[in-house]
Amino acid sequence: MMERIREGVNSIAVKIILGLIILSFVFAGVGSYIIGGNANVAAKVGNAEIARGEFEQAYQNERNRMQSQLGDYFSNLLADPSYVESFRRSVLDRMVNDLLLEQHAQSLGLRVSDAQIRTMILEMPQFQTEGTFDQDIYQSALRRAGFSPESFAEYLRRDLIRNQLLTAVQSSDFALEGEVEAQSKLITQTREVRKIALSLEDYANQVELTEEEITSYYEQNSASYMRPEQVKVAYIELSAESLRKQVSVTDEQALTYYNEHLDKYSSDEQRSVSHILTQDAESAQAILDELNAGADFATLAQDKSEDFGSSEEGGSLGWIERDVMDPAFEEAAFALVNAGDITEVVQSDFGFHIIKLDDVRTSVVKPFEEVSDEIIAEIIDQEAVDQFYELQSDLERVAFEYPDSLDDAAEAVNQPIQVTDFVSQVDAPQILLSQAVMQAILSPEVKEDGLNSEVIEVAPEHIIVVRVEDARDEIVLPLEEVREQVELRLSQLRGEENAIATANEVLESLEQDGSALTKFDLSFSESEMIDRSSAIADVVFAMAKPQQGEPVYAQAKEMNGDIVIVALDKVIADIEPQYMAQIGNQIVQMNAQQDLSGLLSIIRNNTDIDYFIVDTQ
């Protein structure tokens, strides 16, 4: 089918069909935006909305956090569209839950005053130097995080209101002393045991198998000896990272780049400014009149500015650069010429400002020697990326024009063709294991028609083209090929049966005279303490407590398959006070989490919630 499309791609009929398809996408796609009206909304919760931009920023932040923690493992997860959709949904769910809690808290009348916000900011250790609030640190931290003082205060207000509700829910839980004690006894309990281990390997080695048994087991368990569907894959891999190694940069090139981009290696002009903020123009004008009459700027800022973050410092915002403040504020601040100059009243999105210029730092160019390594690395990166995208276009074109071989494509991008042995979806090389690549390999065009795949992105600036050189179907491997595996498995099964039979006979004997111990030449080990982390804990902690000093016996199985006869001699339930405190806290936390989940469930059931976007990006 792909060949027929290639042959007819320039025909008039095909062009007409493609035109109709494009028109259908235009009307369907654009119409959905026009009619739906929710292009900028990620979710609606009651009468409130979560903006799409806000959601995308939260999603990206969470994605970056997970990437930094899990690295390549998380990158592989992101190759699965269904995982990405689920991941995006979980981020949006958390945002919806936060908004629901905030709305519920407001409905209960929970509020946070300006004074509380101000006190909290002044006491935050992130903004302090030697125990004192530092205005410069405060302003620079907010700029890096993309906040203005006003938006940061609003963010804190919403968070504190929500936390008031969470605290109320969580602090209402408690754990009874008897509950904690009972739970502590169960969790910290240990048991004194002796063991007899019946080695699975020893019992398996004693098994003698007949040909009839081997054949019968093989036939009954043939599904265990299937060779999966396998393919021999040829592929061309292209990445910007590999191209970096081929790029070299001379000192002359680096110096030329430096001279052409001096602005990149120059510190921005900085201005130290102070401001007085009010929420209405009349108040701002009245303050400006006082300043023009000779009043002290710092004093007025302390008394009348509504930016409590800077008012304590006489209105000082510290050093600012371009493109970090509100545009109207920035334009006015950078229009001032001399230290001490004051603006007229300036209106921004945050209110009305009067701005004073305190000092100016001019731009300074870093010397070439200081930035040469950085420049060389940047040129190498850029050239590698440029080469990558140029070669990507060549690879796409040639692999499509010559679909029956990778030879021409490999020559076009000067990359080797790599060929695997026969592999399945389980043991294929890592680069072939992503869902997109495996889907391409198993597609009819590639697997059955023998055509090149499309170019597939496996990571940013990292692509691959695959083709199937050969394929073989799933089959049951003949007995002679898997005889060793069959005999080993059957010996283990027979050996385990014999070990269990021995254990049962010994257990039965222990309830009487214990003669089976002599018969099989077995003896118990020295006593040892077992806690709940032991491999045989499930069996040991299910055994009845010994009475009148008489041991209790049971059969268990170790992680390595050995059968174990256990003698339980003593149950020890000593409780240490520090563990009781920890366990009590855990009980309270679990109860609080259950209460919170229940509250959210009730609120969700009573609130209209609409999701408009969780699709992968």
pLDDT in tens, 342-351: 999 999 888 8
Q: What is the pLDDT of residue 175?
A: 65
Over residues 141-166, mean pLDDT: 82
CA 127 – CA 142 distance, rounded (Å): 10
CA 102 – CA 347 distance, rounded (Å): 30
Express each pLDDT in 558-587 by its tens digit. Answer: 999 999 999 999 988 776 666 666 777 777
Residues 461 and 388 sit within 8 Å (Cβ to Cβ): yes
Q: What is the pLDDT of residue 528?
A: 94
CA 567 – CA 196 distance, rounded (Å): 9
Express each pLDDT in 441-465 by its tens digit. Answer: 999 999 999 999 999 999 889 999 9
Q: What is the pLDDT of residue 131?
A: 79
Q: What is the pLDDT of residue 157?
A: 87
Residues 66 and 88 sit within 8 Å (Cβ to Cβ): no
Q: What is the pLDDT of residue 434?
A: 86
Burial classification of residue 395, based on how many CB atoms lie within 10 Å of its CB (0-12 exposed, 13-18 middle, 19 or more buried): buried
pTM above 0.75, yes or no: no
Q: What is the pLDDT of residue 19?
A: 46
CA 538 – CA 193 distance, rounded (Å): 14
Q: What is the pLDDT of residue 176?
A: 64
Task: Provide the 3-class DSSP secondary structure of residue 555.
Answer: strand
Q: What is the pLDDT of residue 17?
A: 42
Q: Give the bridge partners for 320, in sequence order.
A: 271
CA 271 – CA 336 distance, rounded (Å): 10
Write down the mean pLDDT value for the chain: 85
Express each pLDDT in 403-444 by its tens digit. Answer: 999 999 999 999 999 999 999 988 899 899 888 999 999 999
Q: What is the pLDDT of residue 562?
A: 95
